[in-house]
């Protein structure tokens, strides 16, 4: 692996929390081994050490390893001591370089609970909020919900470390906060956010706007219809957009449009009908906004489902919040790297291939155009 393109350069400015006299192992070595091990299927610190021992000769090609492979306790202690904000920012710079190269725009912000890792958060466990590059399938940033806090407070913290110029930030109802939406605009981005019962006055006003539009036969509204069928399911979607809506509470200024997405679904003869509402700073067509709304849930299928099924994140019992958050960030980067590789097969299968074949592992590590 040529050292001039290795990912370890992104850790160059990361503060090392250890006392100098106790540093037997280089910080970049520890982090590089951890990332490689997680890509190859390691889900615990013991497994990371075992990977390092098994691949020591290969690792020595591009790492210093002055005292050999660290122990699992060393991996645990270092990840527990690392500042999780600074650590996520290092990886974020790597991923942002990819996005600049590909002209990425939509960014989905969503949270995920790590059920087996205890935490004093609103979900009762370690809760990580991620920014996901929808079109490329890469992680852009992550914050852990602080003890005693909620996802609502974590979203602005995550947004502050992102470059939002030209981005469309899509969020669920946790992001539907006046200050959060103002922050997105101040940072040069646009927003598309779900409107639910956590903002009752806004929700009532949005519903009333669509009631008035329905009474007028939706005159002046933009509407897009689509349908899809397969696997015993038939679904029809109706996206309706009201630009420059009237009647919203005064404090929700600068709204470009409100959106209603109606879904009628038939599964094995059973019919369901739902309606969801959104607020956006944009004045785009119903077709475009409907596409961005569907794209937001790529974070569920492209990231969260992958983390649970292929990385068994919900079963990870890392007790220290800092270590859990940092290991969670590494899992998200590993998932991003594996998704970029064009080889056939599932993420789980790709992890096995990387474990068995160092040439394939190198290809995964260098899969980004930014390198």
- Average pLDDT, consecutive stretches of 10 residues, N- to C-terminus, the chain (371 residues): 58 87 89 96 95 96 94 95 91 71 74 78 84 87 87 93 91 96 96 97 97 95 89 86 96 93 86 94 96 88 86 80 90 90 90 96 74 39
Q: What is the pLDDT of residue 371?
A: 39
Q: What is the pLDDT of residue 136?
A: 80
Domain ranges in the chain with CATH number 3.90.350: 86-305
Q: What is the pLDDT of residue 3?
A: 39
Q: What is the pLDDT of residue 4?
A: 37
Pairing between strand 190-195 and 168-171?
A: parallel
C-alpha span between 63 and 16 (Å, rounded) = 17
Three-class SS state of 310:
coil
- For residues 9 and 31, the answer to whether their CB atoms sit within 8 Å is no
Q: What is the pLDDT of residue 99?
A: 60
Q: What is the pLDDT of residue 121?
A: 79
C-alpha span between 255 and 199 (Å, rounded) = 15
Its pTM stands at: 0.85
Starting at the edge strand that comes first in sequence, how are the strands of the sheet with 190-195 ordered? 138-144, 125-133, 106-118, 168-171, 190-195, 270-280, 257-267, 233-243, 222-230
Three-class SS state of 97:
helix
Q: What is the pLDDT of residue 251?
A: 92
Q: Compute the Cα dihedral for 100, 106, 109, 115 and give only its sign.
A: negative
Q: What is the pLDDT of residue 369?
A: 45
Long-range contacts (CB closer than 8 Å, 24 or more residues apart) made by 154-159:
154/111, 154/127, 154/129, 155/109, 155/129, 155/180, 156/180, 156/183, 158/109, 158/129, 158/130, 158/131, 159/109, 159/131, 159/183, 159/184, 159/187
Q: What is the pLDDT of residue 163?
A: 87
Question: 86-305 is classed in which CATH architecture?
Answer: Alpha-Beta Complex (3.90)
Q: Where do the H-state alpha helices sit in 259-346? A: 286-296, 298-299, 305-309, 321-340
- For residues 24 and 67, the answer to whether their CB atoms sit within 8 Å is yes
Q: What is the pLDDT of residue 366?
A: 80
Q: What is the pLDDT of residue 149?
A: 87
- For residues 96 and 133, the answer to whether their CB atoms sit within 8 Å is no
Phi, psi angles (nearest 5°) of residue 11: -95, 5
The contacts of residue 285 (CB under 8 Å, 6+ apart) are 222, 224, 241
């Amino acid at each position: 692996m040529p050292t001039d393109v290795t990912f370890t350069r992104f850790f160059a400015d990361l503060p090392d929390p250890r006392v100098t006299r106790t540093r037997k192992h280089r910080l970049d070595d520890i982090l590089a081994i951890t990332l490689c091990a997680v890509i190859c299927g390691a889900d615990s610190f013991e497994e990371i050490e075992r990977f390092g021992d098994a691949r020591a000769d290969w690792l020595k090609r591009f790492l210093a390893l002055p005292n050999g492979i660290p122990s699992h306790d060393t991996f645990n202690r270092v990840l527990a001591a690392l500042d999780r904000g600074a650590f996520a920012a290092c990886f974020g710079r790597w991923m942002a370089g990819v996005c600049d190269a590909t002209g990425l725009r939509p960014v989905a912000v969503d949270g995920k609970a790590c059920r087996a890792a205890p935490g004093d958060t609103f979900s009762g466990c370690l809760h990580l909020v991620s920014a996901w590059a929808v079109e490329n399938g890469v992680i852009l940033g992550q914050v852990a919900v602080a003890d005693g806090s909620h996802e609502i407070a974590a979203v602005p913290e995550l947004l502050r470390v992102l470059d939002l110029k030209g981005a469309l930030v899509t969020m669920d109802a946790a992001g539907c906060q006046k200050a959060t939406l103002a922050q997105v605009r101040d940072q040069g981005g646009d927003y598309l956010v779900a409107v639910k019962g956590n903002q009752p006055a806004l929700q009532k006003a949005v519903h009333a706007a669509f009631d008035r539009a329905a009474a007028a036969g939706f005159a002046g509204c933009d509407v897009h219809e689509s349908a899809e069928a397969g696997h015993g399911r038939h679904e029809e979607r109706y996206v309706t957009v009201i630009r420059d809506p009237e009647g919203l509470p005064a404090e929700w200024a600068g709204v470009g449009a409100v959106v209603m997405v109606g879904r009628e679904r038939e599964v094995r003869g059973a019919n369901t009908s739902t309606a969801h509402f959104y607020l956006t700073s944009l004045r785009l067509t119903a077709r475009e906004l409907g596409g961005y709304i569907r794209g937001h849930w790529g974070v569920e299928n492209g990231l969260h489902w992958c983390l649970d099924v292929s990385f068994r994140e919900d079963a990870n019992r890392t007790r220290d919040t800092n270590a859990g958050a940092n290991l969670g960030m590494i899992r998200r980067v590993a998932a991003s790297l594996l998704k970029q590789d064009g080889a056939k097969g599932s993420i789980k299968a790709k992890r096995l291939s990387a474990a068995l074949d160092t040439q394939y592992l190198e290809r995964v590590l260098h899969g980004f155009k930014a390198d």
